[in-house]
Structure 1
Amino acid sequence: MKAESLLVSAAINIGLAILILSLFSILKNQPFYASVYYARRLHLRQNPFAPPRPSALHRLLPSVDWIRRAVRVSEDEIFETHGLDVLVFIRFFKFGINFFVVCSLIGMVVLLPLNYTGSSVKPKSYHSMDAFAISNISSGSNRLWVHFSVLCFVSCYALYLLYKNKAKSAAKRIEDLKVKQSTNKCSGKSFLSGAYRKKDKIEKLEEKLQELHCKIRHVRREMMLQEKELPVAFVTFKSRWGAVIAAQSQQHSNPLLWITEMAPEPRDVLWRNLATPYRILPIYEIGILVAVVFLTLFFAIPVTAVQGIAKYERLSKWFPPVKALELIPGLKSVVTGYLPSAILNGFIYIIPFAMIGLSRLAGYITRSKKEMKACKMVFYFLVANVFFLSLLSGSLLDQIGQSFSQPKNIPSRLASAVSAQADFFMTYILTNGLSGFSLEILQPGLLIWDAIKPSTWDRGKERNPYLYSLPYYRIIPFVALCTLIGIVYAVVSPLLLPFLVGYFLLGYVVVTNQIEDVYITSYETHGQFWPCIHHYIIVALVIMQITMIGLFGLKSKPSASFATIPLMILTLLFNEYCKIRFYPSFRHLSVQDATTNDELDQKDGVMEENVRNALDAYSPPCLLPMGFEVPESGSMALSGSTQPLLP
């Protein structure tokens, strides 16, 4: 890919981002679109347009007020308002900002001049970033030891940030469990959101709903009596100490006969899946794995085709009719620079929805496990298809002609694919970051849906806010993939790093705006998403180190390759240490913390009240009383107790 193609891609993405964000800032100031851009605040009975209201002219002008508000939100505010899961999610973006800012400074000051002056011979390759990458360093040069030193620093700095965030998240989890449990967080009522209720109709509607609810409860009770007992039960203990001891001990000599674990949060429970036998779950897992493998293989076709578009110089030799693109000035740069990454992002947009659909079939009893499974599947799909397949297919298409004439050089050419594909991944990050986050905050799908509903089946009805929970499965894997790309290219091609800084800065303000104004918290796992994020970053570090071992070997510096092996071992040992040191804290509540919480409850005299609340919270939905209270916070939205127990 030539320099003009990169510049065209950057110009298109930056221009689209400015246009979309400007349009968003205008629409956000219009009360008509409050149900889209202030769904959470409307659900909480907050007025997003409280005085002093801007003038009509000011509302029609683009502004950056939403960015200033997002930047001012502190971690403590996020923790208190949205919970530890959202805080962990935000810390992922902060990790990316801190890591890539430092790596960018080192790369631009140290590696970039070193690479550019590393060879007196002008690169023959048409890749525009080769002159600034490690591929421009002469074979056997002692300058490669500078790259090795930067590799060590980058790896150790990433491990330091991981340890720091892991320790902070573990401490926050303990604090969260103490605070939330001692304030009677759980409630067993089923709520009806009434942000737009009319006062003159509320009493009649309540009477009708009460009557219908009584009939539904009667039918469901009859159905429960006709069915067999479920193979699962929620057991309530009089103290947290007793619950922790029972959950972390083996109850039977056959460990598969009686399995105990701490109960998830009531909102997190998927009541439909409680009837799934435990022994059938591995079969579901195998079926889902097979489906994911076939999906990955199927998407290999469009990914390879995208690389064919990106490699215009080679493609024009094999398929001469594509030279017609040169007849229109600038069209070739658009096709080779912007189009491949845009097509790739379009194809993989549906992957998160396909994976969350597959994870629903796995029989998980909680929403959190379902989303974590979807996150894992999407991440490895992206690593396999977007990273490795783009890497391999791009290099093969690039050098297949020479490979036929010199087959002995195939391994070395494939090993150099990492530096050769830096330009493509730069355009991918630009498209995924600028266009992706801009469309996330604009929500064009909801805007179209909101325009269609009032004029069709919802004509004359009240406009309700569009309430959705934060889609972890749709955002975390893509951010993790861009983190992996940035880490792998931190030493190989440092010119890529400043784009990663912009990616995480934009992602931070967009996601913060969304969690403050749009998304609600539908469940809380007390930070269990951070071990998943930790795992993704460790995978990225290991891939980077393996890549550098190969590159040092290609550059005739075997001593640097052997010196990298202990660094990779150190990374793996660090990961094992974190599993031993922190993972149990995310999975279990310690006996010490449980005893401390019990002592605090006894001191406050709320032990019996907590037991009653737990009994109500984990009652089957069909046995719960009907209530019409509006929650005081968004934490109880989309309560798990509203799900039916049986189909």
Structure 2
Amino acid sequence: MDGLSIAKNRTCTHVDPTNPKANGQQNQIYVQLVLSLALGLSAFFGFCFLRPRWKSLYAARKRQSESAASLPELPDTFFGWMPVLYKVTEQQVLDSAGLDAYVFLAFFKMSMKLFGVMFLVTCAILAPINYKFDYLPTPGDSTDPRNPPELFSNNPLWGSWSVAADTVVLASDGKTELPKTDYLWAYLVFTYFFTGLAIYFMTSETQRIIKVRQEYLGSQSTITDRTIKLSAIPPELRSKEKIKDFLEKLQIGKVESVTICCNWKGLDDMMDKRAHLVRKIEEAWTVHLGRSKTAALEPVQARRSGILDEDEQHESQENNTLLGRAHVTAYEKPRPTTRIWYGFLHLQNRKVDAIDYYEEQLRKLDEKISMARKKEYTPTSLAFVTMDSIPACQMAVQALLDPSPLQLLARLAPAPSDVVWSNTYLPRSSRMIRAWTITLFIIVLTIFWLIPVAGLAGLLDLCSIEQVWPGLANLLSRHEILKALVQTGLPTLVVSLLNIAVPFLYDYLANMQGMISQGDVELSVISKNFFFTFFNVFLVFTAFGTASKFWGELQDSLKDTTRLAYNLARAVKGLAVFYINFILLQGVGLLPFRLLEFGSVSLYPILRMGAKTPRDYAELVQPPIFKYGFYLPSAILIYILCIVYSILPAGYMVLFFGLIYFVFGYYTYKYQLLYAMDHPQHATGKAWPMVCYRILVGLGVFQLVMAGVIALSNAFVPAGLVVPLIPFTLWYSYYFGRTYEPLMNFIALRSIRRESDASINIAGETVGLDMTGARIRRRQSTVDEEREKFSKFINPTLTVPLEKPWINAESTFNGDAPQTDLEHEESTASSLSLGDTHIWRDNGDANV
């Protein structure tokens, strides 16, 4: 009989493909471990091999960022970089990468400590308890209680056994009886203990971060620390003089400057058009002169400063005009052309010289921009007010300025480079409409995600596969390893890929909401991506399981909320192997690919082949952008999974692989934040309260699951005693918000130090002290001070120099295949990118 006939005649039992009991699979973890090790080791060894050969990518930040210059050099040996990275201190992280990187790594370090302690406790106490007692079926389990588990049936010390209503009778001596549910009191005790342990570590780390943050921000002096964002300004106060008089009459300090946001949309649109024209000119010149024959048009020193005085700018414009007009090239090589459309409804067209056409368009546009910069624009209800001191700014943002509700609201200003200027002149109503529209769209999108997430398990069920592809179902039933790959390896891989792909969509949506700063956008991305990972990947996949039973379980749960707790508890126990494999794949299999920067490596040959102009090559060697919203939600989900499974029989394995994930993640992201990637946003560590609130959500789920697990064994007294932890966790979240969150948003007045004050210990180390007689020198500048030097709160489109096209390509830009060692290319391109790329990126940031 062929395989198709066998499949048709076989009685199919619908099972959850991620439930190891239902499938009888014992080797799923081994298969996932081999797969993860194969992926992870190949990526890790690839990184170790490429790192010294491709420094333009793997040491981009170290080579191009002044703040990273003080970091120790990493040896070029295969593993020599690892001990040097390990020895980089938290103080060096602060000095070179700032508060955001410090807080991000602090979460991983705290998790390492917490799960290290929990793993030891679980191995010493809970694992033996689960080994001896947690073998009885829970209500709804298909396991026949008359059949003893293999562990005990093959163990002569246990002898024969039987199951009574409330006791386990061990018939080796005919007398010994163990209460069936007594061991569940240990679950109750450790639910309280692990909740307290998690809150203790979280609170301790919060207090340490607050101390570091207050000392760090209190010891520096930047324009951001002295500036407030004043919103909801009434029409009668929308002038610099009136705003200044209003604030100074409050007697909180002197006003240094006022920038009222105006409707600059027309000017911003012209600057966007100009950037497009500049690129067109660069492409035309590259085609005309070839990649190795163009000449430099603008002095490198001018590009480095980004600012030219009037004489230099006039001279530069003359040189550009002369060189741009001169037909200095071989006569046999024609100049590039472009087709233009004109006449009635633009129905006529003709070809013209591309260089002359685009340069003429650029000249006309520059004249319009120069005129537009001199115009007066309609003021909006938003302004940036810079005070003369940090205490004055902090008093303004921590006080009510006006007795009218929703009027004259003072908030801390974002950094000047962080402001999304195109959103500053949007009406408040427009921003609110955008925010609510995106929120509603995400709710609809969340419902849409139910289809692939809940359907994933159903499609990988053997019965579902048999309905579509009987031959494959028959093949899987005969090969356990292949079955484990398809039913466990494939779901974890698909879920992991969703966690990688979905953040890009939510990042785009967050940028469309109309937020004032990129820091706020990044915090929004963290919130959105966590909601997806927690709700869709964890709750939906766990509580409702396969698509075949999703709607039925959902309807029953809505009718009886206690059923949700039972379903969640039963599913959590059944999905232990699935989540072990998920954490294993994330930590061992995929984290090395983040270290390898697989996306940048794979895209580089494509981008290199498409690069034509010097600007294109300069952008190739810019450090990749590190986005916390892409990495932090997955780490928080794994934190929650470790907490939820910590007491259950699979807890020691979940904690072990979770500990591996946080150890590997800490050093992976430490390397990227310090040496390889850049983080231009300026959130001053404000992601930490978001992390803490989501930890508390995870603790609530942990307590709900434990109450359900205990109740499933009819131990209702200990299950009921778990319930008080849930309102306690809710109260603590309120207490955390009232006690600690203000110190994560503001600078305490006592923390603010004058320039003459002694420098202080920031990260538990003595830094910045230089005792010469009685004089104490202030410590070195922070990352924020270096970044904001000479910065002002003003729309760059009003003041930025009108950059000229980059026409400077040496023999490196010859169109050859990508080389592994890009140092010569980097040195050439970097010299071009020092000034103009900064200006170009400012323009891009200003018009996101």
Question: Shorter-chain TM-score: what band?
Answer: 0.7 to 0.9
Write the distance in 2 (CA, Å) between the matches of 1:263 and 1:565.
Answer: 43
Note the C-alpha offset of 1:533: 0.8
Counterpart position of 1:620: 795
Counterpart position of 1:15: 38
1:360 corresponds to 2:537: no
**Any idea what SS the aligned residue of 2:405 has?**
coil
Write the distance in 2 (CA, Å) between the matches of 1:588 and 1:640.
Answer: 29
Note the C-alpha offset of 1:317: 9.1
Note the C-alpha offset of 1:341: 0.7
Partner amino acid for 2:435?
E
Q: Residues 44 and 219 of structure 1: is their aligned pair in 2 closer, same or farther, counting only changes over 3 Å?
A: same
Q: Residues 170 and 402 of structure 1: is their aligned pair in 2 closer, same or farther, counting only changes over 3 Å?
A: closer
- Which of the pair is proportionally richer in helix? 1
Counterpart position of 2:710: 552
Q: How does 1:539-578 map to 2 (within 5 A)?
A: 539-578=697-736
Larger Rg: 2
Counterpart position of 2:92: 77
Match for residue 87 of structure 1 among 102, 122, 130: 102
Counterpart position of 2:232: none
Deviations along 1:135-184, one digit per CA (max 9) or x if unpaired, are xx989511111111111111111111111111111111111112221799
Write the distance in 2 (CA, Å) between the matches of 1:340 and 1:349.
Answer: 14
Partner amino acid for 1:541?
L
TM-score by length of 1: 0.83
Q: Residues 580 and 639 of structure 1: is their aligned pair in 2 closer, same or farther, counting only changes over 3 Å?
A: farther
Note the C-alpha offset of 1:267: 2.2
1:443 corresponds to 2:597: yes
Q: How does 1:583-594 map to 2 (within 5 A)?
A: 583-594=741-752
Q: How does 1:433-472 map to 2 (within 5 A)?
A: 433-458=587-612, 464-472=620-628
1:178 corresponds to 2:336: no
Match for residue 426 of structure 1 among 580, 592, 600: 580
Note the C-alpha offset of 1:584: 0.9
Q: Residues 38 and 488 of structure 1: is their aligned pair in 2 closer, same or farther, counting only changes over 3 Å?
A: same
Write the distance in 2 (CA, Å) between the matches of 1:317 and 1:218.
Answer: 67
Mean CA deviation greater in 566-575 or 490-499: 566-575
Q: Residues 113 and 318 of structure 1: is their aligned pair in 2 closer, same or farther, counting only changes over 3 Å?
A: farther
**Any idea what SS the aligned residue of 1:250 has?**
coil
Q: Residues 52 and 545 of structure 1: is their aligned pair in 2 closer, same or farther, counting only changes over 3 Å?
A: closer
Q: How does 1:18-29 map to 2 (within 5 A)?
A: 18-29=41-52
Counterpart position of 1:306: 456
Note the C-alpha offset of 1:539: 0.7
Note the C-alpha offset of 1:308: 2.5
Q: How does 1:593-608 map to 2 (within 5 A)?
A: 593-594=751-752, 596-597=753-754
Aligned-CA RMSD value: 4.3
Note the C-alpha offset of 1:402: 13
Deviations along 1:189-222, one digit per CA (max 9) or x if unpaired, are xxxxxxxxx9x94854646796499985971661
Partner amino acid for 1:260?
A
**Any idea what SS the aligned residue of 1:350 has?**
helix
| 1:240–1:598 CA contact under 8 A, matched in 2 | no
Match for residue 195 of structure 2 among 155, 158, 168: 155
Note the C-alpha offset of 1:369: 0.7
Partner amino acid for 1:486?
C
Write the distance in 2 (CA, Å) between the matches of 1:417 and 1:644.
Answer: 46
Partner amino acid for 1:467?
P
Note the C-alpha offset of 1:486: 1.1
Q: Residues 308 and 271 of structure 1: is their aligned pair in 2 closer, same or farther, counting only changes over 3 Å?
A: same
1:339 corresponds to 2:362: no
1:475 corresponds to 2:515: no
Counterpart position of 1:98: 113
TM-score by length of 2: 0.64
**Any idea what SS the aligned residue of 1:574 has?**
helix
Write the distance in 1 (CA, Å) between the matches of 2:411 and 2:82.
Answer: 42
Note the C-alpha offset of 1:110: 1.4
Counterpart position of 1:280: 430
Mean CA deviation greater in 482-491 or 562-571: 562-571
Write the distance in 2 (CA, Å) between the matches of 1:248 and 1:449.
Answer: 47
Write the distance in 2 (CA, Å) between the matches of 1:115 and 1:435.
Answer: 29
Write the distance in 1 (CA, Å) between the matches of 2:738 and 2:689.
Answer: 12
Q: Residues 517 and 217 of structure 1: is their aligned pair in 2 closer, same or farther, counting only changes over 3 Å?
A: farther
Write the distance in 2 (CA, Å) between the matches of 1:305 and 1:116.
Answer: 34
1:142 corresponds to 2:182: yes
Gaps of 5+ in 2: 1-19, 144-148, 152-166, 169-178, 228-256, 258-292, 303-311, 321-361, 759-775, 779-784, 804-829
Match for residue 665 of structure 2 among 500, 503, 507: 507
| 2:542–2:571 CA contact under 8 A, matched in 1 | yes
Write the distance in 2 (CA, Å) between the matches of 1:448 and 1:185.
Answer: 41
**Any idea what SS the aligned residue of 1:344 has?**
helix
Partner amino acid for 1:454?
R
Q: Residues 535 and 43 of structure 1: is their aligned pair in 2 closer, same or farther, counting only changes over 3 Å?
A: same
1:376 corresponds to 2:399: no
Q: Residues 220 and 449 of structure 1: is their aligned pair in 2 closer, same or farther, counting only changes over 3 Å?
A: farther
Structure ranking higher on relative contact order (CA contacts 8 Å, 6+ apart): 1
Identity across matched positions, percent: 21
Mean CA deviation greater in 529-538 or 407-416: 407-416
**Any idea what SS the aligned residue of 1:340 has?**
helix
Note the C-alpha offset of 1:266: 1.7
1:516 corresponds to 2:674: yes
1:65 corresponds to 2:216: no
Partner amino acid for 2:625?
S
Note the C-alpha offset of 1:625: 5.7
Note the C-alpha offset of 1:251: 2.8
Write the distance in 2 (CA, Å) between the matches of 1:165 and 1:362.
Answer: 32
Note the C-alpha offset of 1:42: 2.1
**Any idea what SS the aligned residue of 1:230 has?**
strand
Counterpart position of 1:34: 55
| 2:499–2:634 CA contact under 8 A, matched in 1 | no
Partner amino acid for 2:680?
S
Q: Residues 221 and 354 of structure 1: is their aligned pair in 2 closer, same or farther, counting only changes over 3 Å?
A: farther
Write the distance in 2 (CA, Å) between the matches of 1:159 and 1:571.
Answer: 9
Write the distance in 2 (CA, Å) between the matches of 1:546 and 1:444.
Answer: 39
Write the distance in 1 (CA, Å) between the matches of 2:411 and 2:690.
Answer: 20
Match for residue 394 of structure 1 among 545, 553, 556: 545
Mean CA deviation greater in 278-287 or 486-495: 278-287
Partner amino acid for 2:492?
S
Counterpart position of 1:107: 122
Q: Residues 534 and 48 of structure 1: is their aligned pair in 2 closer, same or farther, counting only changes over 3 Å?
A: closer
Note the C-alpha offset of 1:73: 1.6
Write the distance in 2 (CA, Å) between the matches of 1:366 and 1:262.
Answer: 11
The alignment covers a number of residue pairs equal to 610
Partner amino acid for 1:43?
Q
- Which of the pair is proportionally richer in strand? 2
Write the distance in 2 (CA, Å) between the matches of 1:481 and 1:227.
Answer: 47
Q: How does 1:315-326 map to 2 (within 5 A)?
A: 320-321=470-471, 322-326=473-477
Write the distance in 1 (CA, Å) between the matches of 2:481 and 2:511.
Answer: 46
Q: Residues 161 and 42 of structure 1: is their aligned pair in 2 closer, same or farther, counting only changes over 3 Å?
A: same
Q: Residues 528 and 560 of structure 1: is their aligned pair in 2 closer, same or farther, counting only changes over 3 Å?
A: same
Note the C-alpha offset of 1:314: 8.2
Note the C-alpha offset of 1:226: 5.7
Partner amino acid for 1:336?
Q
Write the distance in 1 (CA, Å) between the matches of 2:794 and 2:116.
Answer: 50
Q: Residues 181 and 639 of structure 1: is their aligned pair in 2 closer, same or farther, counting only changes over 3 Å?
A: farther
